[in-house]
Amino acid sequence: MIRRTIDAVVVGGGSAGLAAALRLREAGATVAMVEREPFLGGILLQCIHSGFGLQEFGEDLTGPEYAERFIRPALNAGIEMYLDATVTEIGEDATGRSVTALSRAVGVVRFSARAVVLAMGCRERNRGNVAIAGTRPAGVLTAGLAQRLVNIEGCVPGKNVVIVGSGDIGLILARRLTLVGCTVRAVVEIQSYPSGSVRNIAQCLNDYSIPLHLGHVVTRIEGRDRVEAVRVAPLQDGRPLTGREFRIPCDTVLLSVGLIPENELSRAAGVPINEGTAGPWVDADMMTGARGIFACGNVLHVHDLVDFVTEEARRCADRAAAYLKGDPREEMIPVKAGANVRSIVPNACAPGRRNVLYLRSLVVKNDALLELSAGGEKLRTKRLAHVQPSEMIRFGLEAGAIQNINSGTALEVALR
């Protein structure tokens, strides 16, 4: 076993992990990064479409181009890199936190660290999560796996495709598959509204005349050895109208039915989980409920833009660096989701400095009113032209805006 004593361990080498590790090194901390893949960059490497970096760099980059902006500096920054390595346990020791990793190259490594940054990203929900009836033939994949097959492995998963769910990965893949010669027969979405962004609906479906069936559900997958067709029915009051069921012949079914923060490791480390996001509970310092463990990026809550992942990771690293230096922690004000708000991050604000809040709506609404209140008193309102569950709302709360809230009173964020 190799033993290392270090200031901070960053778990994950994707966009969040890279940005956090670089920021910690800039602050003078010694940093080790553990990444389970044999390369850095995470999911960005298979996202060869453009649209990345507009916020961060003012440029329209592909995923690999965006990742490269961080990979090269990270390799030259003096960060200890453990690639093709998996963290199996986060515990406690005399230093603060112990992190155990299994590496193909060097075997077992145990770090003694004063801070840990969780940046493991998220995973896709699969067929078991949506319980589609039918047989188990070849040709049923998640959209992210299919994206990797096409963009990295150079393999086409099928020729006639139905995509279940209208998440952004599935929408982007619908366009990509069309461009490589496949026929996307339909995108089937259980909700009455798309779960992906308006931009991707327009650019990936409408521009290629790909049918989108809103308020429909795939009731069955047909086929013995290979997918032969799916059966689709409209929904009424949450139930399939079997009398109006129709059949779509296809050889491939791709599931784009949502993402879940990758939190088995977090739970095992005793990190409290936020039910609204399925990621860790964090305060304004991006510290979880387990002292010395911080979280950022898609492991915390699923983001729309990688630019916001980078922003959040840097803020997380700044607070972790302050913690390493022994800076006193500010007393926090709890934040809770109010009417029509599904989730909010962080879950506590620091009244003495600027806070950035991220939330998801429960409703689709034009001309919505974002309302912040405490103890029944309105503190701030903001008009939003349009809100929907698939698009994250981000807003800043200036220093001092909540300084006069009584101790023990929670800040509530609602959409009216």
Q: What's residue 404's pLDDT? A: 77
Same domain, 227 and 271: no
Give the CATH number of the domain where residue 233 resides: 3.50.50.60
Same domain, 147 and 60: no
Same domain, 135 and 251: yes
Same domain, 132 and 233: yes
Instruction: State how many domains the chain has.
Output: 3
111 torsion bin: left (phi>0), alpha (psi -120 to 50), beta (else): beta
Q: What's residue 197's pLDDT? A: 84
Task: Please identify every stretch of the chain with a pLDDT value under 50, giving residue numbers as ranges.
Answer: none
Same domain, 233 and 315: no
Same domain, 131 and 110: no
Same domain, 10 and 52: yes
**Mean pLDDT for the chain overall:** 94
Same domain, 245 and 132: yes
Supply the range of the domain harboring residue 234.
Answer: 126-257
Same domain, 187 and 270: no
Same domain, 264 and 386: no
DSSP characters over 71-132: HHHHHTTT-EEEESEEEEEEEE-SSSEEEEEEETTTEEEEEEEEEEEE---EEE--HHHHT-
Q: What's residue 218's pLDDT? A: 96
What is the H or E stretch that residue 293 is in?
Answer: strand 293-295
Q: What's the token pair of residue 277?
A: 């996001």
Distance CA 29, CA 329 (A): 19
